[in-house]
Chains A and B, each alone.
Chain A
Amino acid sequence: MTQAKPHPSTHAPKIMELQDVWKTYHLGDADLNVLQGINLHIKKGEFVAIIGPSGSGKSTLMNMVGLLDTPSRGQIIIENTNIAKLKEDELSKLRGKKIGFIFQQFNLIPTLTALENVMLPTIFQNMPKDERLKIATSLLTRVGLQDRLDHRPGQLSGGQQQRVAIARSLANNPEIILADEPTGNLDSTSGVAVMEMIQELHKEGKTIVLITHDPRLVKFATRVIHIQDGKVEKETVN
């Protein structure tokens, strides 16, 4: 299942582009440049892995790609819009529609059932209730949790929780799935299952951005971006 994929179409449109992105934190008198002029783009249908050791700035980069944060300098372009200029609420709206998150910590809401957790992103998009129920149920069925709809996160194993999170990331049918160390809290069997599920999504045409420090995961990607000291060190194509 790791055989080389056809090279992602070089003609596929860019769905996100980072141009000379800087992120600077002011720590007392010192300025800490976590990102130092990152240039990269993500094309539709790609599976991009962003890899780097801890402290390399990859988490900050993930926040940029996930529209959770805005750069101190530079541009992030989505659909011809520079999101660095957007207000917080506009960013939220765009994020909810365009990006599905899969976190290392799962980040499920413990008081809600699996079904309610999956439905959560759709609430903020004003989707009608019956449609949301249908979508959430079919997504949970898809990740093999059709008989766990009413379970709360505490009643599920780590692997199951991450599958709920995968279902949730798909709820608004976003273009980009952003997976931040998705296997970091899982045993190896569950980890492989989760990665296979993500690969499945890629095959169906989703754009995947995987952030990891684990070199074993890069084999799933079509393109690997190595980050070091806040800069793109190299790019390799699988």
Chain B
Amino acid sequence: MFKDYITLALNAVLRRRKRSILTLLGIIIGIAAVVSLITLGQGLKNSISGQFNALGSDKLIISAKGDSFSIGLSTDAVKITSDDLHIIQETQGVSHAAGWIYQSGKIEFNGNVRYYSVSGYPLNKEETTLLWQASNYKLLTGRLLEEGDTYKAMLGYSYTNPEIFGKALELGSKINIQGQDFKVVGFWDKTGSPQDDQGIIIPYQTYEELFNKHDQLGIIIAQVQSGENIDTVAERMTKELRKERKVSEGKEDFSIQTPKQLGAAFGTVIDMVQVVLIGIAAISLAVGGVGITNTMYTNVLERTREIGLLKAVGAKRKDIIIIFVLEAGLYGLVGGLIGLLLGTSFALIVEAAFHAAVGPLLDIQIDPYLLFGALAFTFILGCIAGITPARQASKLSPVEALRYD
């Protein structure tokens, strides 16, 4: 019997397609927005946590105090120095550690001037390798910096195409950094992060001279020995650094984080942005619900005679309510389905565009729970929107309804 009610309701929706589509615009836009936002947000979170996890769960990141977004951008007042690096290297449970520094520099090539991030890396093989792992860089062509290098530079993937300077750089090219010529010795592969892809690495000592920054580090990465508990090592390191930097507990001017914590911090921010955006999309859904109510009132009015006929052939109030609520629910469901298709397609298009433009920074997975949840939600939203019109329909007197023109 229920199936017959659905047939009746579905028939009504499908027979009035133009009105149906107009009615459903709000729901379609709302669901498309919610689905694409959640999918894209989740994709971004996946790839970010993936990148942080790629750093490994056995590394600690030490920087001057600040939130997770200003890591490395230590003010002059609070510095991380080679003394700190030394303490960290000596901390029990740390196998080795390395630090680097970076800041924006003036880059000149092919007659064009640009400003990009320049990093100073240590030349010791073990330290360089650790930093490369932590940055998730992979050699594309050429070689890494080695002991003895001075005015040699490694460049990110972006420099291998002509977009930046109107001419691609090659191994052996001369690039001017802060007024000093450097010879390009290697490139690293696409990382997915535009900032990393536009990065430049030069030897640490050369960096000190070039930027006149002495004995200063931005970030230190510490490799924890296998078998050691990373939290215990972090605690030990905190104590040592407190002693060396002469700060009391709770007033630390440095922070020690695991890649996981950093990833989680980014995740929280993405969540917050998502909540706001979904809140905005929810307005569209509410408007969509009102649209369904409105259309159902029109339908009830338009089909007054039909309702009279249904009652004449034995339909009870309850039957009429079910038929019209189902019809409204189906409006919602159809809107949800279209919205879902649009939202998912949009997310996939954005992912593809991202991959083409900057690399695998988005890792989208279609969540079956989200799809099912969206459909269930729109169906229920439609049903709720249909309750008042359906009740009105059920209350029509059969005599009046049959007489209605």
Contacts and interface: CB of A to CB of B under 8 A. Distances in A.
B11 A121 contact: no
A174 to B, nearest CB: 10
A68 B402 CA distance: 10
Given A111-B15, A126-B1, A172 B402 contact: no
B11 A95 contact: no
Interface stretch (A85-93, A136-144, A203-211): A85-93
Interface in A33-65: 63
Contacts of A88: 316-317
Nearest to A99: B312
A107 B305 contact: yes
A66 B313 CA distance: 10
B390 to A, nearest CB: 15
Contact of A101 (B5, B313, B316, B397): B313
Nearest to A152: B15
A61 B51 CA distance: 81
B397 A69 contact: yes
Given A63-B399, A68-B399, A68-B402, A124 B313 contact: yes
Contact of B316 (A93, A111, A172): A93
B311 interface: yes
A231 B316 CA distance: 32
A223 interface: no
A101 B399 CA distance: 13
Interface in B283-313: 305-306, 308-313
Given A111-B12, A112-B11, A123-B4, A103 B314 contact: no
B314 A121 contact: yes
Residues of A in contact with B, size category: 20 to 34
B314 A125 contact: yes
B15 A124 contact: no
B315 interface: yes
Most buried by A among B310, B318, B397: B310
Contact of A111 (B1, B11, B310, B312): B11
A120 B11 contact: no
B313 A168 contact: yes
Nearest to A97: B314
A89 B317 contact: yes
A105 B4 CA distance: 24
A129 B309 CA distance: 21
A93 B314 contact: yes
B319 interface: yes
B1 A121 contact: no
Interface string B9-31: 00110010000000000000000
Nearest to B405: A105
A105 B306 CA distance: 11
Contacts of B314: 92-93, 95-97, 121, 124-125, 172
A193 B402 CA distance: 25
B1 A95 contact: no
B399 A95 contact: no
B398 interface: yes
A126 B3 CA distance: 12
B359 to A, nearest CB: 53
A39 B300 CA distance: 37
Contacts of B11: 111-112
B303 to A, nearest CB: 8
A125 to B, nearest CB: 6
Most buried by B among A66, A124, A168: A124
B398 A124 contact: no
Contacts of B397: 69
A109 interface: yes
A107 B310 CA distance: 10
A6 B306 CA distance: 39
Contacts of B317: 88-89, 92
A207 B26 CA distance: 53
Nearest to A112: B11
Contacts of B313: 95-96, 101, 120-121, 124, 168, 171-172
Contacts of B7: 116
Nearest to B310: A120
B309 A107 contact: yes
Given A89-B317, A92-B311, A107 B399 contact: no
Contacts of B402: 68, 103, 107
A68 B319 contact: no
Contact of B309 (A89, A109, A126): A109
Contacts of A66: 312
Pairs A-B, 9 closest by C-beta atoms: A96-B314, A121-B313, A124-B314, A89-B316, A111-B15, A107-B309, A123-B4, A111-B11, A68-B398
Interface of B: 1, 3-5, 7-8, 11-12, 15, 305-306, 308-319, 397-399, 402
Given A68-B311, A112-B11, A123-B4, 11 more contacts: A68-B398, A89-B316, A93-B316, A95-B314, A96-B314, A97-B314, A109-B309, A110-B15, A123-B1, A124-B316, A125-B314
10 contacts: A92-B317, A95-B313, A101-B313, A107-B308, A107-B312, A110-B15, A112-B8, A119-B4, A124-B310, A172-B313
